Amino acid sequence: MKHLDIVISGKVQRVSFRVSTKAVADLLGIKGIIKNMPDGTVYAEAEGSPYAIDSFLDWCKEGPENAVVENVVQSESELKNYRNFEVIKK
């Protein structure tokens, strides 16, 4: 199991980024959180198998149809043992 903190920048808010990312996470068996940040980025924490995490990162680099992802910064950190993947509203 692997834990990543991920910051996605570009046109990533108001394009259904969080909701579609949750659908992808659920499909891949990824657990964690995703939320919009005040600076216009999207922040996610993702936990799963190395293969699932790689696929999830590939998705984050593309995003949903109307998104324009400019940069994805990731860093590995300690497992938090999330139970599901949750969209944080505020």
Q: Cα–Cα distance between 82 and 20 in angstroms, integer?
A: 19
Q: Which candidate in 14, 18, 71, 81 is catalytic?
A: 18
65 burial (CB, 10 Å; 0-12 / 13-18 / 19+) is exposed
18 catalytic? Reply is yes
Q: What are phi and psi of 39, to 5 degrees?
A: -85, 5
Active site residue 36: yes
Q: Which of 36, 66, 81, 83 is catalytic?
A: 36
Annotated active-site positions, please? 18, 36
